A and B are shown apart, each in its own frame.
Chain A
Amino acid sequence: MIRFLSGAFTILLMLSPQTLLSQSITNSANRGAEIAREADIRGQGWKSSRVSLTMILQDRKGRTKERKLNISALEAPDDRVGDKSLVVFDSPADLRGTILLSHAKIKEDDDQWLFLPALKRVKRISSSNKTGAFFGSEFSYEDITAQEFGKYSYDFVGEKPCGELMCFVVERRPDYPNSGYSVLITYYDTGEYRPQLIDYIDLKGRPFKQLVLSDYQKYEDKFWRAQTLTMKNMKTGKTSILQYGSYEFDIGLTDRDFTRGNLKNIR
C-alpha cells in the first residue's frame, strides 16, 4: 500500500560544547560570546566519532520506555558548514535499521534524508520543524541538532555556583528561524568550559525545560563528553534521559560515508 513515514526525525549530535567556531568575534567586550567561543575551540579536532546510546523516556508517573541508537558524526572542515551525522535506530524493533542522515547548516535548515529499511527507500525530508518532539522524547529537534556557534547571539550574565563547580552563566538567543525558545540560559563550568546546565525559556518568557549534563568523561586527553543528559519538561512533568556509551574518535570516516547513496550500505 501507499506508505509514508513521518519526516519526524532529526539529528542527534549531542549537545557537546565541541562545536564549530562559526564567525570571529569582533566585539571582544561580548564576554558571553567569548565564553561560548572558548567552549567551542576546546572541542575541535575530533574529526569523526561513533557512539551508542540509550534513550529513556519517563512519563509523569515514572513509567519508562527505552530506545537504542548509534550515532556516527563527521566534523566539518571549516566554520562555514556544519557537521554531518548518521543516526541508526536499533530499537524499538519496528524501527530497527531506520537511518537519519543529516548535513547540519549554520543558519539555514539542515539537509536530512531518512532511510526506510522495509522498502529500502531513501526519502529527503523537511527539517524546518524545530520544535517537534524527537522520537517521542522531551528533546525537540533543535535541542539535538549540532549547536553551531554561529546559530546564537550571546549575553554574559555572571558567575554562579553549579553543583560543586563555579559556572559562567551565558544567555544564548537563537538567531535561526522557527525556534521554540526565546533564551537558553547556559551554565559553563569555569575550569573546562563544559555546559553543565541549560534552562530553556519559551517564547512567552516562561520556564519550559531544563537540561542537566553530567558524568563528564575525558577522551584522548582533550575531548570532554557528558555521558548522561537529563531533559525535564516543566510543563508536562515528563523526563527524557540519554545515556551514552564509550565514544570512539578519529575513526577514519569521510564525506563518502555521509552521502545518501551510501545509506543502503549501512547495517
Chain B
Amino acid sequence: MRQTLALLVALLPAKILLFLALAANGGELTVSGSVSGEVRYFLQDPLPPALSARNIYPAFSFEPRLVYETNSGNDSFVVSPFVRLDNNNIGRSHIDLREAYWSHRGDGWSLTAGINKVYWGVAETNQLVDIINQDDGLEEVFGNEKLGQPMANLSVFSDWGTVDLFILPVFRELQFLTPGTRLTLPMPLNDAEFASDRGKSNIDFAVRWSNSIGDWDIAMSHFNGTSREPQFLLKPTSITPFYDQISQSGLEVQYTSSSWLWKLETIIRSSKGEQFWAAVGGFEWTISGIFSSGADLGLLLEYNYDGRDPMLAPISIYDDDLFLGTRLALNDIDDSSLLVGALLDRKTDAIAVFAEASRRFGDDWIIGIESGIFANAKFPDPIAFVNNDDFVTISLKRYF
C-alpha cells in the first residue's frame, strides 16, 4: 500500500502538470470522473479460519479522467487512474492506471499506444472471448472491472469491417483480496509462476475482425500469449498461481430481431498440445411498456458450457451453468433500474444470485445497491470459497 501510494504521489501530479502544460499550448482539456463511498455488509460470519469476524466494510474510490485533444481532435491523450481506499485489512486498497494512452486517428485507421481497456464479446454472464485486459480481482466478484493493459493497438476500418491488431508487452497478474478474509481464496498465495521464460514480460499478440452485416454482428479473434486465468497449484498450506502460454481463437455472434437479441460466444483454447472448447449462448428479450408505463422488462437466459479438464487448465465456474436474469428499466427521468440474475450449476447445484439496483438523484449522484448470495456450493466448485460471503453493498457515487 505504501508503495502504491508513493507511486500515486509521484505519478499523478506529474501527469496533471503535463496535461496542464499541454492545455496551455492549445487544444482542449476535459476533466471528468467520479468519487464514491460504499458500505459492504456480509450477512454471515466468515468461514474459519478467517482472520476477521467483522461484517461491515466501508470503502472509498476515486476515478478521475483527463482527456486532452489536439490536432482537430485527431490526437488525444487520456489519463485515468483508479484509486480504491479500503481500511479493512483485506488487501483491497489499490491504485491502477485504467487508461494512460496516446491515440491518433488517421483516415480509415487509428493507432493507440499506452495503457487502455478493450472489451470484446456479446454475452452478459461470462466474458468468455474477452481476453485483452486482466480482471480487477480486488473490485468485482463477477469480474467486469478490468485492469489497464499496456498495448499498441492498430485499428483499420474498411467496408468489410474493422481489423484490430494488438501487441501486449506487459502481463498483469490477477490479484486477490488477502487470503482467509472475504470473497477470496482460503490459503496464502505464493509468487506466480509462468510457462514463459520471459515471465511477465512475455509479448502477447492478438488480432480481431469485427463487422455488422444486416441484423448480424460478428467478430472473430485470435490471441497468442499468457493466459489471463491462473491455474492454482495446490501445496499443503499455500497456493501457487501458474500462468500458462495459450493460443485462443474466439467467435462472437449477435442476431438482433425486433425485441430479441440472440447471442453466442465460443472459444477454442490450446496449450501444450491440449485443446478444449467453451461456449456461452442465449437470448435477451425485452418487453416494452409494461404496467402501461414507459418501463422495459428484459428477460435473459444464457447457457455456459466449458469442456476444459480442471487438471490441465484453470478452474471455470461456467462449466455447465444456466443463467436466468431479469432487468427492469423504468426509463424515468432518473434512470431507475433493477437487475436480478442467478447462475445455476447443473452439475453441483451451486447457485450464485446477483442483484443490482440504481437510480440518479440530483444531476450528478447515483445511489446503488448490490447484492451477491451464494448457496449449495461444495468443493471443488470455486464458489464454495465464498459460501459464507453473502453480501449487500450500498454505494453513493458523485460524478463530476
Contact = CB atoms under 8 A, between A and B. Distances in A.
Nearest to B146: A119
Contact of B331 (A4, A91, A124, A132): A132
A94 interface: yes
Interface string B85-128: 00000000000000000010100101000000111011011000
Interface stretch (B13-21, B172-180, B194-202, B333-341): B333-341
Given A6-B296, A119-B119, A129 B363 contact: no
Interface in B370-400: 370, 372, 397, 399-400
Given A4-B298, A6-B329, A129 B286 contact: yes
A2 B339 CA distance: 9
B258 to A, nearest CB: 4
A77 interface: no
A92 interface: yes
Interface stretch (A19-27, A195-203, A255-263): A255-263
A2 B286 contact: no
B212 A260 contact: yes
Nearest to A261: B162
Given A96-B32, A109-B258, A1 B157 contact: no
B289 A131 contact: yes
A96 to B, nearest CB: 6
B318 to A, nearest CB: 12
Interface string A1-38: 11110111000000000000000000000000000000
A124 B121 CA distance: 11
Most-contacted residue by chain B among A2, A57, A259 (CB, 10 A)? A2
A265 B215 CA distance: 23
Contacts of A109: 258
Contact of A2 (B73, B261, B341): B341
B251 interface: no
Contact of B259 (A65, A128, A265): A128
A132 B256 contact: no
B276 interface: no
A121 interface: yes
A262 B157 contact: yes
A93 B103 contact: no
B331 A267 contact: no
Contact of A124 (B212, B325, B366, B399): B212
B229 interface: no
Contacts of B121: 121
Interface stretch (B42-50, B136-144, B264-272, B308-316): B136-144
Contact of A6 (B34, B141, B327): B327
A240 to B, nearest CB: 10
A94 B364 contact: yes
Nearest to B121: A121
Contacts of B157: 256, 259, 261-262
Contact of B337 (A6, A95, A113): A6
A93 B118 contact: no
A121 B123 CA distance: 11
B69 interface: yes
A133 interface: yes
B279 to A, nearest CB: 18
Nearest to A122: B119
B354 A1 contact: yes
B349 interface: no
Contacts of B256: 111, 124-126
A256 B399 contact: no
A23 B78 CA distance: 47
Contact of A92 (B30, B296, B364): B364
B197 to A, nearest CB: 32
A75 to B, nearest CB: 19
A120 interface: yes
Contact of A8 (B124, B212, B296, B325): B296
A94 B337 CA distance: 14
A136 interface: yes
Interface in A79-135: 91-97, 109, 111, 113, 119-126, 128-129, 131-133
A144 B365 CA distance: 27
A129 B296 CA distance: 9
Nearest to A126: B259
A229 B323 CA distance: 44
B296 A2 contact: no
B226 interface: no
Contacts of B337: 6
Contacts of B161: 261
Contact of B335 (A113, A136, A264): A136
B124 A57 contact: no
B294 interface: yes
A65 B331 contact: no
A131 B288 contact: yes
Contacts of B76: 267
Given A136-B331, A136-B335, A267-B69, A93 B259 contact: no
Nearest to A121: B119
B288 A129 contact: yes
A93 B333 contact: no
A259 to B, nearest CB: 6
Contact of A94 (B212, B341, B354, B399): B399
B260 interface: yes
Interface string B176-219: 00000000000000000000000000000000001010010100
Contacts of A128: 258-259, 288
Given A6-B296, A133-B294, 13 more contacts: A1-B354, A2-B142, A3-B356, A8-B329, A8-B331, A94-B364, A121-B121, A126-B258, A132-B331, A136-B331, A136-B333, A260-B210, A261-B162
21 contacts: A1-B370, A2-B125, A7-B286, A91-B363, A94-B360, A94-B366, A111-B215, A111-B256, A122-B119, A124-B261, A126-B258, A126-B261, A131-B294, A132-B288, A132-B294, A136-B335, A261-B161, A265-B105, A267-B30, A267-B73, A267-B78
A-B CB proximity, top 4 nearest: A261-B162, A93-B399, A6-B329, A129-B288
